Structure 1
Amino acid sequence: MPLLRPAPPAPAAAVTLPRRCLLTAGSRLDSPSAPPPLACLRLRPAAPLRGIPPRTGCRAAAANADADAAPSQGPGGDGGARGALVRLGEALSLGFPVWVASACAIALWRPPAFLWVGPTAQMLGISFTMLGMGMTLTLDDLKTALLMPRELAAGFILQYTVMPLSGFLVSKLLKLPAHYAAGLILVSCCPGDLIPALKLRRQSYLQFMTPLLTSKLAGQYVAVDPMGLFVSTSQVVLAPVLLGALLNQYCNGLVQLVSPLMPFIAVATVAVLCGNAIAQNASAILSSGVQVVLSVGCLHACGFFFGYVLSRILGIDISSARTISIEVGMQNSVLGVVLATKHFGNPLTAVPCAVSSICHSVYGSILAGIWRSMPPTDKGE
Structure 2
Amino acid sequence: MGSALILTSLPFALGIVMLGLGLSLTMDDFRRVSQHPKAAVVALLCQVVLLPVICFGLVLAFRLPPELAVGMMLLAASPGGPTANLYSHLFGGNVALNITLTAINSVLVVVTLPIVVNLSAGYFLPDGAALGLQFDKVLQVFLIVIVPVAIGILLRTRAPELARRLNRPVRALSVVVLVVAISAVLYAERENLADYFVSVGLAVLVFNVVSLLVGYGASRLASVDHRAATAAGFEIGIHNTAFTVTVALSPALLNNAEMAIPGAVYGIVMHFTAVTFGWLITRRRGRESTLSEQTPVEVG
Q: Tell me the amino acid that sits aligned with residue 138 of structure 2.
A: F
Which of 17, 30, 37 is equivalent to 1:149?
Answer: 37
Residue of structure 2 equivalent to 1:358:
268
Give me the TM-score of the superposition, normalised by structure 2. Answer: 0.82
Once residues 225 and 108 of structure 2 are traced to their aligned partners in structure 1, the CA distance between those partners, rounded to angstroms, is 25
* Contact 2:101–2:235 under 8 Å retained in 1: no
* Cα deviation code 1:326-355 (max 9, x no counterpart): 111111222221222233354211111111
1:240 aligns with 2:128: no
Alignment counterpart, residue 106 of structure 2, candidates 188, 203, 207: 203
C-alpha displacement of 1:262? 2.3
- Equivalent position amino acid for 2:112 in 1: M
| Equivalent residue for 1:178, pick from 60, 66, 74 | 66
Say yes or no: does 1:368 pair with 2:256. no
Could you tell me the percent identity over the aligned residues? 20
Mapped to 2, the partners of 1:323 and 1:169 lie a distance apart of: 25
User: CA offset at residue 372 of structure 1?
Assistant: 4.0
Of residues 290, 304, 308 in structure 1, which corresponds to 2:198?
290
Q: Distance in 2 between matches of 1:262 and 1:372?
A: 31
Structure 1 residues 12-32: Cα deviation after superposition (integer angstroms, max 9, x where no partner): xxxxxxxxxxxxxxxxxxxxx
Partner of 1:310: 218
Question: Number of residue pairs matched?
Answer: 267
Structure 1 gaps, min length 5: 1-111
The answer to whether structure 1 residue 163 and structure 2 residue 51 are counterparts is yes
In structure 2, do the counterparts of structure 1 residues 262 and 373 end up closer, same or farther at CA, with 3 Å as the change threshold? farther
Runs (4+) off by over 4 Å: 376-379
Classify 1:122/1:155 alpha carbon distance in 2 versus 1 (closer, same or farther; 3 Å). Answer: same
User: What is the aligned partner in structure 1 of residue 187 from structure 2?
Assistant: 279
Which residue does the alignment assign to 1:26?
A: none
TM-score by length of 1: 0.65
Are 2:240 and 1:332 equivalent residues in the alignment? yes
Moved more, 369-378 or 166-175: 369-378
| 2:207 paired residue among 299, 306, 309 | 299
Determine the C-alpha separation between the residues in 1 that align with 2:114 and 2:78: 9
Q: Is the 8 A contact 1:232 1:339 kept in 2?
A: no
Q: How far 1:374 moved relative to its partner?
A: 4.5
* Greater C-alpha Rg: 1
- Residues 1:215 and 2:215 aligned together: no
Choose between structure 1 and 2 for higher RCO, CA contacts under 8 A separated by at least 6 residues. 2
Range that drifts further, 313-322 or 153-162: 313-322
Residue in structure 2 matched with residue 76 of structure 1 by the alignment: none
Which structure: greater helix fraction? 2
Corresponding residue to 2:17 among 129, 133, 155: 129
The one of 249, 259, 266 equivalent to 1:341 is 249
Task: For residue 228 of structure 1, report the CA deviation from its aligned partner.
Answer: 4.5
CA offset digits 1:122-180 (Å, max 9, x no partner): 11211111101110111122222222111111110011123211221111001111011
CA distance in 1, matches of 2:123, 2:80: 24
- Judging changes above 3 Å, is the alpha-carbon distance between structure 1 residues 296 and 145 closer, same or farther for their aligned structure 2 residues? same
Structure 2: give runs of 5+ residues left out of the alignment: 86-97, 293-300
